[in-house]
Structure 1
């Protein structure tokens, strides 16, 4: 038996694996959102550096401020499953009409959720929506550079059809019904699970995905990024080439 999704609610899914130096700032950026109707789902993928303990401490510290949210849920996985397993677990817990991804080492603009929800409500044919973003070096949050690899409109479908990539996964918000229809991330392309999820979201000829031109996300570049394990550089560096 399936249950209806909560109208207007944004389920924010954040996966954490050994992100102790960054996760507090990430959570602060969620707390500062101007959009009022959201729930936070934090999936800790068996961190060993104290990340989970920091998350629970942060939640306790901000209990009063979080009282207006629709729910805060944390799950600590019993073993490290990898990104695909962790993020999909979070999506299964999401009950919102919309699901938003938030990477634990990045930051969201205060108006991110509000602007993405507004666009999706005004454009019912769009199922997945990314945003423009800026990159900053760890320790220098005020020195940001623009992304150069994003595409918009009809160019998005053409890019993915040719095997390219032009939506930043961390910026995405999508309709819960899209996840209900196609499922979550898989391990078929190790290290590029985000690409595979976006690519399978695209309906050929339907133009059901889009990017906002507004800068609503801030991508932190640092030496411990997951993408460096696979590509020797951060995702932002790779995709800007």
Structure 2
């Protein structure tokens, strides 16, 4: 079966579960993107802290700014489906040639979408593209730290072949055709959905994934992030996302 995707459109998928304090920063960073051909698909995984209601109110209050955008879609799931279920639901709704992941507690650089789209347009063999990023403590957005666990080029496939992880999931943009071919995130490995998805994209013996060396994403460390629940430490120390 052939799926028709909108050329040049970036479908940004944001999943939300009790991220109320961070939503304004996240959404503002997306609204400020210099690349304007995007749609936002926000999936609320049955939050209990008012996240969904806040999001709807925030979007309505920013309606004049959003008027020129192609589409803003919010969906509140009827039951808590977990991260893999929520993000895969968002990907099913995505119409774009490209799908970008954005974590609800993080921020994207204004040039993020533009530079990832440009690279993917210029490098047709690349199916998934991450970026470099910096980490900041919650409440200290101007005190960011570099990370050193990412890899680039041919090294990426080698790391994943050995069971390692070297792409920050929240920075990923990939071709919608990839989702049409392999589907979304597994629900079999809770806490490592990000790793499994990227590993599934990688074609053995082919360089079809990469990272941009430029910092285009800002990762927030806080006490309620998922990586603390599953790994005890945030991504900066463990190399896992969310």
1:102 is aligned to 102
1:222 is aligned to 222
CA distance in 1, matches of 2:4, 2:120: 18
List per-residue Cα deviations over 1:81-106 (Å, max 9, x = no partner).
10000000000000000000000000
1:55-66 matches, cutoff 5 A: 55-66=55-66
TM-fit CA distance, 1:29: 0.2
CA distance in 1, matches of 2:174, 2:11: 10
TM-fit CA distance, 1:216: 0.2
2:140 is aligned to 140
1:208 is aligned to 208
TM-fit CA distance, 1:3: 4.0
1:17 is aligned to 17
TM-fit CA distance, 1:147: 1.1
List per-residue Cα deviations over 1:135-168 (Å, max 9, x = no partner).
0000000000011100000000000000000000
List per-residue Cα deviations over 1:59-80 (Å, max 9, x = no partner).
1011111111110000000111
TM-fit CA distance, 1:239: 2.0
2:80 is aligned to 80
1:149 is aligned to 149
| Secondary structure of the corresponding residue to residue 57 of structure 2 | helix
CA distance in 1, matches of 2:182, 2:239: 25
| Secondary structure of the corresponding residue to residue 210 of structure 1 | strand
Asked if structure 1 preserves the Cα contact closer than 8 Å seen for 2:15 and 2:45, the reply is yes
Equivalent residue pairs, number: 240
1:187 is aligned to 187
CA distance in 2, matches of 1:234, 1:195: 15
Q: Does 1:199 align with 2:199?
A: yes
CA distance in 1, matches of 2:54, 2:236: 27
Asked if structure 1 preserves the Cα contact closer than 8 Å seen for 2:88 and 2:184, the reply is yes
- Higher mean alpha-carbon deviation, 218-227 vs 186-195, is at 186-195
Q: TM-score normalised to the size of structure 1?
A: 0.98
Where do 5+ consecutive residues of structure 1 fail to align? none
CA distance in 2, matches of 1:141, 1:76: 29
Q: Does 1:129 align with 2:124?
A: no
Q: Does 1:42 align with 2:42?
A: yes
| Aligned-pair Cα RMSD in Å | 1.0
| Secondary structure of the corresponding residue to residue 24 of structure 2 | helix
Runs (4+) of structure 1 exceeding 3 A deviation are none
TM-fit CA distance, 1:236: 2.1
Asked if structure 1 preserves the Cα contact closer than 8 Å seen for 2:3 and 2:180, the reply is no
Where do 5+ consecutive residues of structure 2 fail to align? none
